[in-house]
Amino acid sequence: MDSGPQISVVIPVLDGECFWKDLIADLAFFPDSAEFLFISNGNQPQEFTELAGQNQIESRSHWYCSSVGRAIQMNLGASEACGSSLLFLHSDSRLSETGIGLLIQSLKLSPGALHYFNLKFPDQSSFLMKLNQWGVYFRSHILGIPFGDQGLCLNRDLFMELGGYNESAAYGEDHLLVWVARRRGVRLKCTGASIETSARKYQQQGWLKITLQHVFLSLFQAVPQLFLLIKDRIAAWYQGKAQSPSL
């Protein structure tokens, strides 16, 4: 595979969870220039080195200990990263070789954009999960609000300029980062590939409860961010009008 942009893959891991064990096999599809940073609030598991070795990515895989908090963990990963591009993945994500190839093409074509994947759930036999998948497509493609489980990827310098993830936010740090990017005029670009994520929350807590919770919390954050975006656009319009030569 063409090496393309140097990608640092940042993966926050909650102490005791094991989803990263499946994901680590997918990381072998990345080019040799990529590195993988696992950021956890727990110590490195004994099997981490073994699994990385089995997939021939041991020399490029690193485990860091951090305070608990996804925003804190991802910001630490970004600070330790060496690549020019940062890809933030949830530990229960799954990527295909084709999807990784499309991400690299997308980065080459639009290096200054914020890239994301289409979301896919493993069980496509359930109408309710298909409904969620369509909802995610509408939210990200039409409303321009991709979430972190869609694998956000952007230039490392741009990430730092945006201020990284908001560590004071009680939830939705990925959501807030997207809004900050939009307010700065950063283009959102879908890679055209799918990323698979676990549906365990829906199975354990109920589809309706989790779906309504996500919708409510998203709207609660989105409305004030939308007003800020509109305010920025109006201010930019007035500034441009003031600077334009009068007839």
- Most trustworthy range by pLDDT among 205-209, 214-218, 224-228, 239-243: 224-228
pLDDT of residue 185: 95
One-letter identity of residue 30: F
User: What is the pLDDT averaged over residues 40-55?
Assistant: 96
Split at pLDDT 50, 70, 90, the class of 212 is confident
| Contact residues for 148 (Cβ-Cβ < 8 A; gap 6+) | 70, 88, 90, 173, 174, 175
In this structure, which long-range contacts are made by residues 224-231, counting pairs with CB atoms below 8 Å and at least 24 apart in sequence? Answer: 225/176, 225/179, 225/183, 228/179, 228/183, 229/179, 229/182, 229/183
pLDDT of residue 203: 73
CA separation for the pair 211, 222 (Å, rounded): 16
pLDDT of residue 91: 95
Residue-wise pLDDT tens digits, 54-109? 999 999 999 999 999 999 999 999 999 999 999 999 999 999 999 999 999 999 99
Split at pLDDT 50, 70, 90, the class of 33 is very high
* CA-CA-CA-CA dihedral for 155, 159, 162, 164, to nearest 10: 170
CA separation for the pair 247, 245 (Å, rounded): 6
DSSP string, 189-239: EEEEEEEEE--HHHHHH-HHHHHHHHHHHHHHHHHHHHHHHHHHHHHHHHH
Which CATH number is correct for 7-243, 3.90.1150.10, 3.90.550.10, 3.20.20.100, 3.90.1110.10?
3.90.550.10
User: What is the pLDDT averaged over residues 14-22?
Assistant: 94
pTM of the model: 0.91
